[in-house]
Each structure stands twice: as structure tokens, then as C-alpha cells.
């Protein structure tokens, strides 16, 4: 398991520290909020990536049309 460069030993240390500093009562609530936050960030990232690819494809089509126009007007 390797998520964001964090392996299993690091996750175990993070969980132990969270139990010490946050406490077992509040840990599930805070973990749920952190999970929702990470899910939202991932969804936004995927949305940005999709939009970026869409815009790059449209830009590529515009460049192709410009090249075609130049070819047609030069003859």
C-alpha cells in the first residue's frame, strides 16, 4: 500500500499519534471528515484533469483548422 508516498508503517504511526492527540472518542468523526475532504479533493482533481484534456483537444482541433486554412489559401 502506498498512497501519496505513505506506506503501511507511516499509516500505523499516524493512527497511533491520532489516538494519542485526538482520543478514541473523536477519532471516527475526524477520520470521516478527513476522508470526505480527500474524496472531494480527488473529485476536483479529476474534474480539472478532464476539463484540461477537453480544452487541449479543442485547441488541437483549432490548430488543425488553421493549418488547413493556410494550405487552402496558399494554393
| Residue 40 belongs to some domain of the structure | yes
| Residue 43 belongs to some domain of the structure | yes
| Residue 41 belongs to some domain of the structure | yes
Q: How many independent structural domains does the chain possess?
A: 1
- pLDDT given for residue 3 in this prediction: 60
Is the per-residue pLDDT at 50 higher than 90?
A: yes
Question: What is the tens place of the pLDDT at every residue in 2-44?
Answer: 666 778 888 889 889 988 998 889 988 998 998 899 899 989 9
What's the domain range around 63?
Answer: 26-74
Which candidate, 60, 38, 41, places its Cα nearest to that of 49? 41
Grid cell at residue 12: 500505523
Is the per-residue pLDDT at 75 higher than 80?
A: no
- pLDDT given for residue 74 in this prediction: 84
Cα–Cα dist 51/43, whole Å: 12
Amino acid at each position: 500500500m502506498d498512497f501519496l508516498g505513505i506506506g503501511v508503517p507511516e499509516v500505523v504511526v499516524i493512527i497511533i499519534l491520532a489516538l494519542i492527540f485526538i482520543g478514541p472518542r473523536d477519532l471516527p468523526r475526524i477520520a470521516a471528515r478527513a476522508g470526505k475532504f480527500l474524496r472531494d479533493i480527488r473529485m476536483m482533481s479529476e474534474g480539472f484533469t478532464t476539463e484540461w484534456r477537453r480544452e487541449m483537444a479543442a485547441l488541437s482541433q483549432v490548430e488543425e483548422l488553421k493549418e488547413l486554412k493556410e494550405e487552402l489559401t496558399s494554393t
